[in-house]
Structure 1
Amino acid sequence: MTSKHSLRNPKDMQYAFSYFYYLIHKKVPFDLDKLWAKEIDINRDGYLNENELRTLAINVFSTPLKPTTFKEFKSDLYKTCMELRHPTPAPVIVEESSSSDSSDSSSSSSESSEDSGSTAAVPVIPATQTATATAVATATATVTATTAPKATTPAVDNNTLEVGQKELEACRIDLEVLKASNKTLMEIHKSYAKRTMYRTSIEGTDEVAFLMVDDNDNSTQTKLDGVRQRRHKFICLNDNINHDKPTAHLVIKVIHDFYESLFPFPSSFELPPGQTNHFRYIHEIIDKKQEENNKNNTFIYIFGVVGVMIVMLMWKRSKRSSNGNHHSINGIIGGVGNKSAAKQRSNKRYMIV
Structure 2
Amino acid sequence: MHNKMVLRKDKLRRRMLRKRKDSSNVHWHFQSNSHVDAYSASLQHTNRMLNNRYGFRTRKVPSHAPILIDKEIVTRLQETFLKEFEVTERNRVRRYDDIQFSFAYYYYLMSEQIEISTGEIFKEFDTDKSGTWSDREIRTLLTKLYELPLSYSIVDHFEAILLNCSEKKTFPDVSTPEYERYIDSKLPTISKDLVESCPTLMKMLKDRFGSTHKYHFETISNAESKYVSFKMLNSNISDVVMSLDEIRSSRRKFVCLNDNLDESKVAENELVRAILYDFYLSLFPHPSKFELSEDYRNKFLYMKDLNEWKMYRFKIKLFIIFLMSIVLWMGLYNIIRRRFCRIVDILLC
Same fold (TM over 0.5): yes
2:217 paired residue number: 198
Tell me by how many angstroms 1:253 deviates.
3.9
Q: Distance in 2 between matches of 1:263 and 1:29?
A: 49
Query: Is the counterpart of residue 301 in structure 1 residue 318 in structure 2?
Result: yes
Shift of 1:175: 2.4
The one-letter code matched in structure 2 to 1:198 is F
Among candidates 133, 142, 146, match of residue 48 of structure 1 = 133
CA contact (8 A) 1:53 1:74 kept: no
CA RMSD of aligned residues (A): 4.0
Q: How does 1:101-180 map to 2 (within 5 A)?
A: 165=182, 171-180=188-197
- Flag structure 2 segments of 5+ consecutive residues without an equivalent: 1-38, 40-87, 173-179
Structure 1 residue 222 displacement after superposition: 0.7
1:60 to 122, 145, 157: 145
Alpha-carbon shift at residue 76 of structure 1 (Å):
1.6
- Deviation at residue 9 of structure 1 after TM alignment: 5.0
Q: 1:18 aligns with which of 82, 87, 104?
A: 104
What amino acid does structure 1 have at the position aligned with 2:239?
A: S
Alignment of 1:182 onto 2:202: no
Shift of 1:290: 3.5
CA distance in 2, matches of 1:5, 1:61: 51
> Which stretch of structure 1 is more off in the superposition, 305-314 or 228-237?
228-237
1:48 CA drift (Å) = 1.3
Decide whether aligned partners of structure 1 residues 63 and 266 sit closer, same or farther in structure 2, where only a CA change above 3 A counts. Answer: farther
Tell me which residue corresponds to 2:275. Answer: 254
> Which of the pair has the greater relative contact order for Cα pairs under 8 Å at 6+ separation?
1
Q: 1:13 to 1:315 in 2, by over 3 A?
A: closer
Give 3-state SS (helix, strand or coil) of 2:232's partner. Answer: strand
What's the counterpart of residue 238 of structure 1? Answer: 258
Distance 1:330 1:218 in 2: 98
TM-score, normalised to structure 2's length? 0.57
- The Cα offsets for residues 94-124 of structure 1, whole Å up to 9 and x where unpaired, read as xxxxxxxxxxxxxxxxxxxxxxxxxxxxxxx
The answer on whether the counterparts of 1:23 and 1:200 sit within 8 Å (CA) in structure 2 is: no
The residue type equivalent to 1:318 in the other structure is: I
Q: CA shift at 1:288, angstroms?
A: 1.5
The separation in 1 between residues aligned to 2:202 and 2:289, in whole angstroms, is 48
CA separation in 2, counterparts of 1:32 and 1:41? Answer: 12
For the residue of structure 2 that corresponds to 1:318, the secondary structure is: helix
- In the alignment, which residue of structure 2 is the partner of 1:141? none
Aligned to 1:324: 341
Aligned to 1:287: 304
Overall identity of the aligned pairs, in %: 22
5+ residue gaps, structure 1, are: 88-162, 280-284, 335-353
Query: What is the CA-CA distance between 1:65 and the residue it aligns to?
Result: 2.7
When Rg is computed on C-alpha atoms for both structures, the one with the higher figure is 1
1:277 is displaced (CA, Å) by 7.5
Distance 1:63 1:278, change over 3 A: farther
Say how many residue pairs are matched: 251
Distance in 2 between the 1:178 and 1:266 partners? 63
Contact 1:27 1:195 in 2 (8 A): yes
| 3-state secondary structure, aligned to 2:131 | coil
- Quote the Cα distance in structure 1 between the aligned partners of 2:164 and 2:245: 69
* Pair 1:40–1:86, CA change in 2 (3 A): closer
TM-score, normalization by structure 1: 0.56
> Letter of the aligned partner of 2:257 in structure 1?
L
- Cα 1:169–1:276 shift into 2, 3 Å: farther
Question: 1:277, 1:62 → 2: CA distance?
Answer: 62
C-alpha offsets along residues 28-60 of structure 1, whole Å, 9 cap, x if unaligned? Answer: 5434444444x3221222221111112222222
The answer to whether the aligner puts 1:218 opposite 2:303 as a matched pair is: no
Offset of residue 229 of structure 1:
2.1
Q: Alpha-carbon deviations, 1:246-284, whole Å to 9, x = none?
A: 4434323433454565667878987766646864xxxxx
Q: Deviations over 1:155-192 (max 9, x none)?
A: xxxxxxxx954798984322222222222222222222
CA contact (8 A) 1:213 1:240 kept: yes
Residue 221 of structure 1: how far off its partner (Å):
1.5
Distance 1:256 1:63, change over 3 A: farther
